[in-house]
Amino acid sequence: MERIATLPGTTPTAGQLALARLIAEGCSRPNLGVTTVPAAVYTDPQHWAREKATLFDRLPQVLCPSALIPDQGMSVPHDATGRPLLITRDGDGQVHVFLNVCRHRGTRLVEGEDVQCGKRLTCPYHAWTYALDGRLLALPRPETFPGLDKADYSLVELPSCEAGGLIWYAPQADADFGEVRELGADFDAFAMRDLHLFARQTHDVAANWKLIMDAFLESYHVARLHARTIGPFFKDGVTSGDQIGPHQRSLVCRAEELDGVDMTDMAALRRVGTFAYQLFPAAVVIMSPDYVNVMTLWPQTHDRTLVEDFMLIPEAPQSDKARDHWQRSWTLLDGGVFAGEDFRAAALGQQGLEGGAISELTLGTLEGGIRRLHEIIEEQMALAER
């Protein structure tokens, strides 16, 4: 019988193990009772403008998994932030994030959105040529630029950090990536840096970015919204959760399913529980038993969000059977569960809230992660506005 690759066995971090032990011991997130969230934070364009200025124009954000450009000499444009970005991996394997703009006349350097392979980047207008570390290598007719020092014309680079199989960037020069590196240890426990990118897809969702994030901060909806897809495979479980800085980490499973499980074996733990990470401000990482979904959210307006979904698997498919196996999972998750159910529910929520019928959303005890997200947003905006 042909083998389908599985994820390697690793050891959970102390924080991951603590979440599992909380569930095994009958503890979970604090019960905050019934709480509410103002509807205006989803519908008010001025509130979105404040979020953009204080969060998305300031804080480190996940751009993509490392598996998108795994090899030296690869680059990929990224336009969803509102800036033309270019992510590269140079000849030493170092990741860079540049503005995708030639230093000569401001022309877009790399077109499209697909991954490129090549040691050089050449402007389509006047053929100024750059290395993947941003250095200007050559320009035609250099004698027509007397006194120009190529060292002064490198691509404009933005702060970036690669940790645990994710590539982050920050819009501002004073970025602090300390918590990003701490999260990297968690993702190393899932061996994310060694995974293979099977598929990626961008969805244009007619909803506020927080309505999409909300779906990944509670398990209350799983058996209901996903009744025709993954719901039958899940029971209403207990959620334990904590934070690493503003980022939320959670585990969902049932205490009885942990009986007899070696919780120091990550593969065994993943067979009975689902880890999820909400990486502030707007990315989600979901750990299924044998693959990983990374979703990055890029708000365009208060009621429209681009969501890029990446599916990471243990290795490149070695046969048609393996490829078909992963394709079925991808079709179910990306097209059926996420696009057909979660994103659809977010869009329906936006339609309902825009009508003004309710002034606040009501959250039960299984939806405490949503309440916490809104608290973190307010905390981070207040810090930025000091």
Task: For 202-257, write each residue's pLDDT tens digit.
Answer: 999 999 999 999 999 987 788 788 878 887 776 667 788 999 999 999 998 888 88
Residue 9 in this model has a pLDDT that exceeds 70: no
Q: Give the pLDDT band of residue 1 (cuts 50, 70, 90).
A: very low
The SS3 of residue 148 is coil
Please answer whether residues 95 and 139 qualify as being in contact, where contact means their C-beta atoms are separated by less than 8 angstroms.
Answer: no
The rounded mean pLDDT for the chain is: 93
Note whether 251 and 241 are within 8 A (CB): yes
CA distance 313 to 322: 11
Q: Answer yes or no: is pLDDT of 280 > 80.
A: yes
Residue 138, helix vs strand vs coil: strand
Q: Confidence class of residue 76 from pLDDT cuts 50, 70 and 90?
A: very high
Q: Which domains does the chain have, with CATH numbers?
A: 14-58+184-384 (3.90.380.10), 62-161 (2.102.10.10)
**Taking the model in full, what pTM does it have?**
0.94
pLDDT digits (tens, 9 = 90+) for 110-154: 999 999 999 999 999 999 999 999 999 999 999 999 999 999 999
Mean pLDDT of 323-334: 95
Rounded average pLDDT over 94-99: 98
Q: Terminus-to-terminus CA distance in the chain, angstroms?
A: 62
Query: Predicted confidence band at 2 (pLDDT cuts at 50, 70, 90)?
Result: very low
**Residue-level pLDDT at 139:** 98
The C-alpha atoms of residue 293 and residue 310 are separated, in whole angstroms, by 6
**How do residues 166-179 score in pLDDT, each as one tens digit?**
999 999 999 899 99
Q: What does the pLDDT read at residue 198?
A: 98
Residue carrying structure tokens 């989600």: 284
Sole residue written with tokens 């009885």: 256
Taking residues 274-290, what's their average pLDDT?
A: 95
